[in-house]
Amino acid sequence: MINRQNLDQFLRRTTVLWILVFAFVIAIIGIIIGLMYDWRIGASLAVIVLIGMIYSFARLQRINNDTEAYLNQLAVQVNQSQEEALLEMPIGMILLTDENIIKWINPYMAKYFDPQEMIVGRKLAMVDDDLAKLVAKHRHDDQTSVVEWQDYKFELQVQDQFNTVYLTDITDYEEISDRYQREQLFLGNIFLDNYDEITKGMSDSMVSNLSNYVTSQLSQWAKDHDLLLKVIDDDNYLLIGHNYSLKTLENENFDVLDTIRQNTSQQNSPVTISMGIAYGQSNLIRLANMAQKNLDLALGRGGDQVVVRMESGQARFFGGKTNPMEKRTRVRARMISQALRDLMNQADNIFVIGHTRPDLDSIGACFGIRRLAEMNDHESWIVLDDDETNHSDIERLMGEVDNYQSIKEHIINPEEALKKATDASLLIMVDHSKPSLSAFPKLTERLANRLVIIDHHRRGEEFPENPLLVYIEPYASSTCELITEMFEYQPRESKGLNRLEATAMLAGIRIDTKSFSQNAGTRTYDAASYLRSAGADGKMIQYLTKETPANFIQRNHLIDTAEFIDDAMAICAGADDQTYDSVIAAQAADMLLQVSGIQASFVITRQSPDIVGISARSIGDFNVQVIMERLGGGGHLTNAATQIKDTTVEAVKAQLITELTSDQEAESETEEE
C-alpha cells in the first residue's frame, strides 16, 4: 500500500503548492494596498481571498485523497499481477536463505522436481546437487548464463543480494538454433593435385579408368555422407552439404584422401587430393570465394590435404601426411622469372628481405635476387638488421661480404629502407610468406600492395592479402634452389653470380637438405651443379658451417636433456638463462632422429632475452608442421620451427607436451572409431 505521509510529501513538492503560495502573497499585497485607499475595499478583498484559500485547500485535499485512492488501487493491481506472474509465468523461481535453504519455489519450478519429495525447508544441495553447483558457479555473474540441467537448457540468473534464483527453459529455442546451425550449407572445391602429371604418359583407356575410379570413390563417399558432388572438370569437383555432415567428415579426418591415394598407389598412379571447404555464410558467392581461397591455401601447403574455414575463423587442416611430390615445371620457373622481371621494370626501388634471425638459405636467396635485379639493369637493396645476424654461420658470411663491395654497399638497415620506400617500390619476401616473420614487419606493412613472395615452405594461414606475385613451391628443397633456376632465363650478356653469391646460395641448399640427404630431388642437384659452375666454393661452405667448440659442447648438452614420449618423440630443453644459436638447436634435432625408434624430435631453447624457439624434425611419419603452426610457427612436414615471445623454456615445453599428447589422443580416438 502507498504511505500517506509519502504521498503528502509528494504533493508538497509539486508546483501547484508553490502557485498557491505565490497567489496568496499577491492577494495579501492587494489587501494592504486596498486598505491604504479604503478600508472597505481592503476588507472585501480579504473576504474574497479567505474564501478562495479555503476552497483551494479543500480542493487540494480532495485531489490528495483521490490520488491516494488511485495509487492504492494501482498498488493492489500491481501486487496481484506480480503474484500472478510468479505463479503462472514460464520462469522458474527459487527463494533461498543465506544458508542455501529453499524458502519457496513457484509452481513452474516445482514441475522439475519429484512431486512426492519435500522441497521447501531443505538445502538446495540435498534436493539437487547439480543445480546447487550451477547456482554456486554463476552466483556472481553479471549476466544470465546458459546452463544444462536435467537434459534441459536454461538461462540462469542469480540475484545474490536477494538470494533468488531464476531459471528460464530455453530448450526449444536452443534446439531450433542447433538445427539451424546443423542445416546450414557448406561448399567445397575438390582438386586432383597431380592429375595432369600422372595422366601425361597414359593411354586414353588408362586415363578413363583412373578418372572413373576417382569419381566413383568420391561419389560413394559423398553419398555415404549425404553430400552433393558435381563434376566440374577432369580434375575438379564441387561439393555441397550441411554442417552436420561436415562435422562427421572432420571426425573421420577426411579419410577418403588416404583411401584414394593408397589404392591408386598400388596401380603406380598415386593420386593426391586437395579440398577447400567454407561454411558459416549464407551468401553463396562469398561462400564460393572462400572455398576457393581455402583450396589455394591447401595447394600452397603442398596439397594432399583439406582446409576447412569459415570467413572470420581460423583454418583447420586435415591430411598432409605425406611429403609433397615434385610438380613444378621449368615452364613455370620461366614464367615466374619473366613476371618478376616485368615487376622489376615497373619499380623505382627494389627491396629484398628475409625472415627474422636469417639462416643461410634466407641470406643466399637475398643475394640471388640482388644479382637477378642487377642482371636486368636494376639496383636493389638487401634489408638486413645487424642485430639479427648473430648466427655463427651468418657472422662468418657477413665477414666475407666485406671483400665484395658491390654486395656490401647494397645492404641497408630496415630504417633506411623505410625512408627509401615509395608507393612504386617493390618488396620481395624470400624464404617466408608470413609478414609477422619478416625481418622488418613495418616495411612489409608499408609495401603491402607491392609484394612478391618466393618461398619453399608450406603456406600458412597468415598470408598477405594482395601480393603481386607468389612463387611458393613446397616441393623444392630450398628458396635458393627456386631462385637458382631463374638464372637460366636471364639475359646472356649480363654478368652472372660471383663466387660469394654462388657459395652462399649453395650453402643455403646444403643446410636445408642436410647435405643433400633430405628433400633433395633431381632439380636440387641441377641447381647445385649450376652454382658449382658459377664458382661456388666448397671449402668456404665448410668454413661457414663449421661450429665452434662452445657450440659443439652446447649441442651435446642439449641432447643430454632428451626426454621421450612413448619412445617415439624426443624433447630437449635448454637452460632458460642461457641463449643458444638456432643452428645448434636445429643440429640437435637432426641428430636425435638418428636414435632408433624416434619419429620426431623437438629442441626448445632461448634464442634471445625475449624469444624462446622450437626446432622440430621428423622422419616423415609425423607431421611436425601442424604442431608448430598451433604454436605460431610453420615449415614442412619433416622440418618446422616456431618462436614464442615473452615466455620461459619450461612454459613452452609444457605447452608443447600438451599439444603432442592431445594430438596423440585424437589419433587414438580416430583409430578406435
Tell me: the pLDDT tens digits for 533-542?
999 999 999 9
Same domain (yes/no): 248, 274:
yes
**How many of the other CB atoms lie within 10 Å of CB of 241?**
21
Does 568 share its domain with 597?
Answer: yes
Tell whether residue 359 is among the known ligand binding residues: yes
- Same domain? 588 vs 640: yes
Same domain, residue pair 217 and 167:
no
User: Sorting pLDDT into bands at 50, 70 and 90, what band is 230?
Assistant: very high
Q: Cβ atoms within 10 A of the Cβ of 208, count?
A: 12
Whether residues 258 and 390 fall in one domain: no
Residues 20 and 126 in one domain: no
Query: DSSP secondary structure string, 330-371?
Result: HHHHHHHHHHHHHHHHH-S-EEEE-BSS--HHHHHHHHHHHH
Domain boundary, last residue among 54, 88, 122? 88
Distance, CA of 73 to CA of 407 (rounded, Å): 95
Question: Does the structure show a pLDDT above 90 at 340?
Answer: yes
Listed residue (84, 87, 122, 135) closest to 108, CA to CA: 87
Of the candidate ranges 40-44, 336-340, 457-461, the one whose mean pLDDT is the lowest: 40-44
Domain check: are 73 and 106 in the same one?
no
Q: Count the domains in the chain.
A: 5
Q: What is the pLDDT of residues 281-317, one digit of tens each?
A: 889 999 999 999 899 888 877 788 899 998 878 888 8
Are 41 and 138 members of one domain? no
**pLDDT over 90 (residue 635):** no
> Which of 21-35, 40-54, 74-88, 239-253: highest mean pLDDT?
239-253
- Predicted pLDDT of residue 521: 86
Average pLDDT over residues 478-484: 96
Q: Which one, of 494, 502, 495, lies nearest residue 533 by Cα?
A: 502
Q: Which three cell numbers stand for residue 163?
A: 538470494
Domain boundary residue, one of 273, 297, 319: 319
Give the C-alpha separation, 668 to 673, whole Å: 9
621 is an annotated ligand-binding site residue: no
Local confidence band at 2 (pLDDT 50, 70, 90 cut-offs): very low
pLDDT in tens, 521-530: 889 999 999 9
Residue 321: pLDDT over 70: no
- Nearest CA to 302 among 321, 287, 285, 283? 321
Q: Are strands 152-159 and 164-169 parallel, antiparallel or unpaired?
A: antiparallel
Q: Is residue 242 part of a domain?
A: yes
The lowest-confidence range among 89-93, 94-98, 459-463, 666-670 is 666-670
Answer whether 612's CB lies under 8 Å from 605's CB: yes
pLDDT in the model for residue 326: 53
The DSSP line for 143-212 is: S-EEEEETTEEEEEEEEGGGTEEEEEE-HHHHHHHHHHHHT-EEEEEEEETTHHHHHTT--HHHHHHHHH
Output the pTM of the full model: 0.64
Q: Distance (Å, rounded) from C-alpha 546 to C-alpha 206?
A: 52
Q: Higher pLDDT residue, 44 or 131?
A: 131
Considering the chain, what percentage of its residues have pLDDT values greater than 90?
42
Q: Which of 341-345, 420-424, 667-671 has the weakest average pLDDT?
A: 667-671
Amino acid (1-letter code) at residue 139? R
138 is in an annotated binding site: no
Q: Which of 63-72, 108-117, 135-144, 510-519 has the lowest mean pLDDT?
A: 63-72
pLDDT at 1: 44
Calculate helix-pair angle for 360-375, 479-486, nearest 10 degrees.
20
User: Based on the domain organization, do 431 and 308 belong to the same domain?
Assistant: no
Task: Give the residue, 419 or 31, on which the prediction is more confident.
Answer: 419
DSSP string, 193-231: TTHHHHHTT--HHHHHHHHHHHHHHHHHHHHHTT-EEEE
512 labelled ligand-binding? yes
Pairwise CA distance, residues 380 & 372, whole Å = 9
User: Per the domain annotation, does 324 fall within a domain?
Assistant: no
Residue 586 has pLDDT above 50, yes or no: yes
Best-predicted range by mean pLDDT among 354-368, 461-475, 614-628?
354-368
Question: Residue 15 has what pLDDT?
Answer: 60
Sign of CA dihedral 357, 362, 364, 367: negative
What CA–CA distance (Å, rounded) separates 455 from 432? Answer: 5
> What pLDDT band is residue 669 in, cutting at 50, 70 and 90?
low
pLDDT over 70 percentage in the chain:
92
Question: Which of the four pLDDT bands, split at 50, 70 and 90, describes residue 83?
Answer: low
CATH number for the domain harbouring residue 152: 3.30.450.20
Q: Residue 324: which pLDDT band, with cuts at 50, 70 and 90?
A: low
Do residue 243 and residue 154 come from a single domain?
no
Do 166 and 194 have their domain in common?
A: no
Is residue 325 in some structural domain?
Answer: no
Residue 71: the pLDDT is 77
Question: Hey, is 614 helix, strand or coil?
Answer: strand
Same domain, 489 and 405: yes
Question: With 70 as the cut, is the pLDDT of residue 329 above it?
Answer: no
Range of the domain at 58: 4-88
CATH of the domain at 599: 3.10.310.30
How high is the pLDDT of residue 288?
94
- pLDDT category, 510, cuts 50, 70, 90? very high
Residue-averaged pLDDT of the chain: 86
DSSP 91: -
Domain end position, chosen among 545, 564, 591: 545
CA pair distance 508, 477, nearest whole angstrom = 10
